[in-house]
Amino acid sequence: MSASSVTISVLTPTWNRSGYLERVWLGLASQTIKCFEWIISDDGSSDNTEEIVRALAKRSDFAVIYIKADIHVGKVRMDNEAILHAHGEFILWCDSDDYLVPHALARLLCVWDSIPQSISSNFVGITALAATNEGVVVNPFPNVDFLDVSWNDLSEVHGVTSDMLFFARGCALKENPFPEVDFVIPESVVWTAIGDQQARLIPEVLKIIEYNADHCISFSGGMAYNRGRAYALAASVRNLASYPRTWQISAWRLITFIRYCVHGELYFSDALRLWGDNSNTFLFCMATPFAWLLAIKDALQGKVVKSHREFLVAKGKVKIIVERLNNL
């Protein structure tokens, strides 16, 4: 399959999760259409991930691209690499602990084609449901066949914050890369940037997900990935500025942002510039003492991880190889 015939790029970031990859592959192998490529971005795995990927590529009737970092450099960098090398008009993440139902890709394209060409330029993608072995994660509109709703409205108006499937235009993601400032950054930094455009939601389960899989990334507990959190929070507040907030919520978000900046070792001037026009300088200065008190408490409790330091070292040393593993 030539790059020009690829319609969908399915991205699978992975780090020491070789045991899950065949399940992802089985979901892709069962798809009823084959105009897609599978891009595995291997974040410096030390297990047999490469061996598994190469073996799966030999069995594939779809294109397989393997992106390998020689050291662990984080999901942010590897996602950007995968997006950069994606050939598809659309991009879909299928993490290593997820898998697609057999008709998922055909259904997504069918729904996209149902959008009239006269308005399709206003749409950024498709939303569908995800489920675990226990059932649907969330179904915000159970009594509709489909609904056109922006991703920002989905969260800010309808209160949907649970996992769903997001199928996005590749060009929108290429124009809004993840800021490479830490190993991990909340995905809201990108989704809120493109989420003001319409998306067609279909209340059908097209992806199965597993929580608490080995080596999963969690933002609960300790204060890690603080620089990434700071960048994402600033961007999200800016991208969602049109939605009303109480002054209490706005104040708490500003205090939290400064708290992340302290742990992420961003200078005051850098933090102020990053926050930008989300508030004025006076309010920023007023919030800073409260943020520092919380940051000191975090440090005394031993909760802080300076992950950005290790990331910056890895970013400067990493070597990344991109290889097409078959000729399809």
244 shares a domain with 120: no
Evaluate the CA torsion angle 176, 178, 179, 185 in order and state its sign: positive
pTM over 0.75: yes
Asked whether residue 21 is assigned to any structural domain, the reply reads: yes
Reduced to 3 states (helix: H, G, I; strand: E, B; else coil), residue 247 is helix
**Distant-in-sequence, close-in-space partners of 213: CB < 8 Å, separation ≥ 6:** 17, 20, 96, 97
Same structural domain, 266 and 160: no
Identify whether 46 is part of a domain. Answer: yes
63, part of any domain: yes
Residues 250 and 158 in one domain: no
Predicted confidence pLDDT, tens digits, the chain (328 residues): 556 588 999 999 999 999 999 999 999 999 999 999 999 999 999 999 999 999 999 999 999 999 999 999 999 999 999 999 999 999 999 999 999 999 999 999 999 999 999 999 999 999 999 999 889 999 999 889 999 999 999 999 999 989 999 999 999 999 999 999 999 999 999 999 999 999 999 999 999 998 876 656 655 567 899 999 999 999 999 999 999 999 999 999 999 999 999 999 999 999 999 999 888 889 999 999 999 999 999 999 999 999 999 999 999 999 999 999 998 7
Contact by Cβ (8 Å): 99, 26: yes
- Domain boundary (167, 189, 213) is at 213
Q: For residue 314, is it within any domain? A: no
Pairwise CA distance, residues 323 & 94, whole Å: 19
- Distance from the Cα of residue 305 to its chain's centroid: 22
Structural domain for 288, as ranges: 226-304
**CATH number for 192:** 3.90.550.10
The answer on 178 and 98 residing in a single domain is yes
Amino acid letter, residue 47: D
Pair (113, 56) in one structural domain: yes
* Tally of structural domains, the chain: 2
**At 142, phi and psi to the nearest 5?**
-70, -15
Two tokens, residue 171:
């060009």
Same domain, 173 and 203: yes
User: Does one domain contain both 14 and 143?
Assistant: yes
Question: Are 207 and 240 in the same domain?
Answer: no
In a domain? residue 319: no
**Residue 300 and residue 233 share a domain:** yes
Q: Is residue 297 part of a domain?
A: yes
